[in-house]
Structure 1
């Protein structure tokens, strides 16, 4: 049983407890100061042992502290925001169906815990940058971290001379790794050895070209090799121009990069790497250094993905097909393992954006935070509760947990102050860990469940390739619905970096109306992406307003390139039925026939990975992205067939006439296939062996 506590926040929200209670089938007394004088109601609820949903996130911390102080408090507590998302808007009085939906979704069981990825940091930090800036940063973290400085530029005159931390310099060759496991490779190629240098500044004074700065490294572009510095350093012996460049390496737990150009120029850099150009003068300087100090110990994060190699369409028979996950990953966490014919995801580099799972056509990569069935259950609950409470024209607003949620809440506060319209009554915000973590399987399911629109909020924090991938997904999903006769724009990407831009975009949603299925689906979203897509498509096709003319004609819907559905076109004049494409197909869309030379195709299984097209030695296959909206898509179709070739010795059929003739034509001029050798190519494998041994026996008899 679930107990739901609602509060109109000092009567700033026009809540209707009876309407909400009817939708949730429970009595909902209305509070106005649940976090203050009515707090005993919360305490009594959490002593019941039942699940408790508190419709307030503003005072989440206060409620948590109160729960710890309440004797006998055993109830699990979940929080949901109904204030900024619905109660604080210009049409808040019409938002009861949405608020009921948000409360119902908050009452769902918590998803099962996911596997975790561990990090261990001993606090060894590498600070890279100009020596003076690096030393200033080092002074603020050295009491908590073990500092090593990699000097990449001169220090200021009058800067620190005391060597308080190890300082190295040279040419950086590579920086790889993540929190607790960074590896730096560099080449010590400067005449000045910093281990021997005492910072006496004799070389700085002696150099007439001022080629030596207070980083105590020689600028080769300025140096004219007069060697005055080397003579000035005779006692210490730190300067030698004949020193051979030496490769060096080091291991670190953290990296603070103060250079103007980052050493790791990724949109999503590894955990434990921080780029802070300008050092302490950077506006984020103090916050970054405070965070850096806390990164000592053991840490965990969710393992955001599952990988099923048997479903993967990346590679077969040393031929690469689908590369979608590798191309979209901004964290460089996905790579190709050519030897094992698979992709590899580094869980330590993965940041949980989910874009790889969104673009994966087969579902080989699945998102786990939360898993797809949990996300599907949430969307179905939101939409069914909204409809049961009398809501119409539901639009889902998918947004990220951080930037997106902050923008939605800011919009709600602006609406309360009369400076914005706020989130419309028919727009249901749905928080995701990352905006790129859902794709057409959940989007189409949402439309089948009753959503008129699915909008993805992009706040500018997303990598460019994520935005492009989401646009392609939206184009594919929209083409499917248009082909089935559902007019309007059902999928939108809302790019808004401010609450004002978001307010304007959401207001524009009111002006459009989309055709959706007359009957909402009730299927359960499964763990397999293709199965979920089939369930959604079946419902959308069953409810499709499009008519077929003539009645029994298949409805082929053209789709954009890259769609995970389609057919293949086979050039029968080129195809020799070698069936290389069958062995390459990862989805069993292409099949042979044991009884006769045939190439068969089941369109439902095709993921348009392109492995068949790339593998075909005759260049006889082309991809045709489309959706065949008819039962025929599940049935085997014959793409090509041929007469079998009969063995010239035993007449047993093997291969195809076209393939054998093509082989004979290609090998007729080869020195290894002349006379009897060419004739043996016309035999089955058994007869070929018999004929070869017979010829050898005849040769022996002749020689005797």
Structure 2
């Protein structure tokens, strides 16, 4: 174990000065003119819950909003209220319906466009149309014991609180103020060309769909292909989709991931040049940082994010490669559980990668919600790695991550072995049954990255580069011979970045013209599958060994010799 690092108060003052100098010198990668989405709300409100609670809330808001409708979803308590008669008189004219059960109501939408459909007597009724004479509600206040929408991040305009709580008072003020036109930043963007969700109708990667706490992502099915679509009005910018996406098809915009990596490198470099020592990078949400009374110690460089999910495994490792001694991730009570689980899974993967590359996995650590600053400000256990030369991050997400891993490997002692990772990790290899593989190249056509490649007409082959494999499963799903199986893991050896040939064989030449057009194993497989097909019966079986041009010529020549066969075509 390395000797513990110790700093004096003078050292801490020097580090604080170096940190301040670095922050003045390196600009945060802010988007000064972000693309926005618009919400327009006139304030028409639907209130759910017991009738008594709904009328209490309505009585408070009735003079502040243009329209209110009530939907009773549960029984009222027997609580006495001295203002009960006044409440009933104030809200007597409001339209009120009763839902038979929770499943009778279907609610979807967002601020300014909530569609509430109620099942009544076997028919679906548009509740806004039936009560307020308009197609949509603008807002929804849910006072039920169990919220109707159970999303970790519900859509804007939907507030679920219990009557009588401090949150209820705040919710009423928010509803009254939510009238007008509002803008919010568009947090993420999608590049469909990089997406591995589906190819040729076959299912692939679903990591983003599984991690969105706002249900803002959906798989849209077209006539042939499916694609990922984000609803920007429901997106809260948690960043889990961008962190989970292995190809960079979904990118966070505030800040953009590549400039964030450049900022990390620039900040650490400027800190070192200003005399700072033993830098620790802490990723923390802006909300958590605002709640902390004390400024971190001088050697702690905070990366304040709108949401903790805006940075992921690639950024954490990039900070270590840029010269951080340790990276610390600050837990936050406000982080949605789904996002927290996804980040913890990435942290497990990152620590395994560090261990495989010969570094202490403790260089990446979580800080507890209850931390009083002692763990945050603790000195790193050992010195930082040699920082790689600063340069603008090049390439896509996977290329930048591979460059980071290569640098960490150069500074460590890679094990040379393959380290197992949990299923779903975007690292690993494939196992191919070479006896069943016919080199049809179907997997090559489906692969969304350069991980799989083929040969040419004269030398068919299947080659694989593990560094590019994201374990999307498209190759396994599309293999007609079921010869491919995913093998998640990480090979801590130079071979990971090398292209290796899995199978190769000479091309099969057409028996008539000699043109190579397939492989011997492909022809053998086709012959087995079509052995009983009447079109290839008898002498016609030889057509299976002809190229497409010669096969057509052979058919027409047979028809020319026997004109009566033309009547059967």
Q: Please say whether Structure 1 and Structure 2 have the same fold, judged by a TM-score greater than 0.5.
A: yes
Structure-2 separation of matches of 1:165 and 1:527: 59
Is the aligned partner of 1:681 residue 2:564?
A: no
Is the aligned partner of 1:168 residue 2:51?
A: no
8 Å CA contact 2:142–2:161 kept in 1: the answer is: yes
1:238-285 deviations in whole A, cap 9, x for unaligned? xxxxxx7563343111000011111110000001100012x2x12311
The correspondence of residues 94-133 of structure 1 with structure 2, limited to 5 A, is 94-106=12-24, 108-109=26-27, 111-112=30-31, 113-133=33-53
1:433-461 deviations in whole A, cap 9, x for unaligned? 11111112211110011111111111222
8 Å CA contact 2:331–2:367 kept in 1: the answer is: yes
Partner residue of 1:151 out of 60, 64, 72: 72
Aligned match of 1:187? 119
Is the aligned partner of 1:362 residue 2:247?
A: yes
Cα distance change, pair 295–701 in 1 and its aligned pair in 2 (3 A): closer
Structure-2 separation of matches of 1:677 and 1:335: 49
Partner residue of 1:248 out of 93, 112, 126: 126
Is the aligned partner of 1:578 residue 2:461?
A: no
SS for the counterpart of 2:373 is helix
Cα distance change, pair 382–702 in 1 and its aligned pair in 2 (3 A): closer
SS for the counterpart of 1:375 is helix
Partner residue of 1:406 out of 290, 310, 325: 290
Aligned match of 1:546? 413
8 Å CA contact 2:321–2:388 kept in 1: the answer is: yes
1:451-482 deviations in whole A, cap 9, x for unaligned? 11111111222222222221221222222222
Partner residue of 1:178 out of 88, 107, 110: 110
1:165-219 deviations in whole A, cap 9, x for unaligned? 2222334331000111110000234xxxxxxxxxxxxxxxxxxxxxxxxxxxxxx
Structure-2 separation of matches of 1:134 and 1:436: 36
The correspondence of residues 396-545 of structure 1 with structure 2, limited to 5 A, is 396-402=281-287, 404-407=288-291, 409-410=292-293, 412=294, 423-496=296-369, 498=370, 501-506=371-376, 509-510=378-379, 513-514=381-382, 516-526=384-394, 528-542=396-410, 544-545=411-412
Cα distance change, pair 92–343 in 1 and its aligned pair in 2 (3 A): farther
TM-score by length of 1: 0.71
Structure-2 separation of matches of 1:246 and 1:477: 50
Which has the higher relative contact order, 1 or 2, with Cα contacts under 8 A spaced 6 or more apart?
Answer: 2
Cα distance change, pair 652–703 in 1 and its aligned pair in 2 (3 A): closer
Q: CA deviation at 1:107?
A: 5.1
Structure-2 separation of matches of 1:153 and 1:625: 49
Q: CA deviation at 1:628?
A: 5.0
Aligned match of 1:659? 522
Structure-2 separation of matches of 1:574 and 1:609: 21
Is the aligned partner of 1:587 residue 2:427?
A: no
1:613-668 deviations in whole A, cap 9, x for unaligned? 22112222233344556665554321111232233333332211112112211222
Structure-1 separation of matches of 2:303 and 2:148: 36
- Comparing 153-162 with 286-295, greater Cα deviation is found at 153-162
Higher Cα Rg, which structure: 1
1:94-146 deviations in whole A, cap 9, x for unaligned? 14414532453255446232211111111111111111211111111222212
8 Å CA contact 1:315–1:611 kept in 2: the answer is: yes
* Residue ranges of structure 1 left out of the alignment (5+ in a row): 1-89, 190-243, 413-421, 549-554
Cα distance change, pair 392–467 in 1 and its aligned pair in 2 (3 A): same
Structure-1 separation of matches of 2:20 and 2:247: 32
Aligned match of 1:669? 532
Aligned match of 1:298? 181
The correspondence of residues 373-384 of structure 1 with structure 2, limited to 5 A, is 373-384=258-269
- Comparing 369-378 with 355-364, greater Cα deviation is found at 369-378
Q: CA deviation at 1:321?
A: 1.1
Aligned match of 1:307? 190
The correspondence of residues 211-290 of structure 1 with structure 2, limited to 5 A, is 247-250=125-128, 251-277=136-162, 279=163, 281-290=164-173
8 Å CA contact 2:356–2:414 kept in 1: the answer is: no
- Comparing 639-648 with 139-148, greater Cα deviation is found at 639-648
8 Å CA contact 2:26–2:267 kept in 1: the answer is: no
Cα distance change, pair 103–282 in 1 and its aligned pair in 2 (3 A): farther
SS for the counterpart of 2:545 is coil
Cα distance change, pair 477–123 in 1 and its aligned pair in 2 (3 A): same
SS for the counterpart of 1:336 is strand
The correspondence of residues 683-698 of structure 1 with structure 2, limited to 5 A, is 683-698=546-561
Aligned match of 1:619? 482
8 Å CA contact 2:443–2:452 kept in 1: the answer is: yes
8 Å CA contact 1:488–1:513 kept in 2: the answer is: no
8 Å CA contact 1:372–1:525 kept in 2: the answer is: no
Cα distance change, pair 641–166 in 1 and its aligned pair in 2 (3 A): same
Aligned match of 1:645? 508
Structure-2 separation of matches of 1:275 and 1:703: 74
8 Å CA contact 2:153–2:236 kept in 1: the answer is: yes
Structure-1 separation of matches of 2:75 and 2:186: 42
8 Å CA contact 1:304–1:350 kept in 2: the answer is: yes
TM-score by length of 2: 0.87
Structure-2 separation of matches of 1:583 and 1:423: 51
Structure-2 separation of matches of 1:357 and 1:258: 33
Aligned match of 1:342? 227
8 Å CA contact 1:448–1:521 kept in 2: the answer is: no
1:396-424 deviations in whole A, cap 9, x for unaligned? 2211111x1134x23x2xxxxxxxxx744
Aligned match of 1:141? 61
SS for the counterpart of 2:430 is strand
Cα distance change, pair 698–173 in 1 and its aligned pair in 2 (3 A): farther
Cα distance change, pair 245–332 in 1 and its aligned pair in 2 (3 A): closer
State the number of aligned residues: 536
* RMSD, aligned α-carbons: 2.7
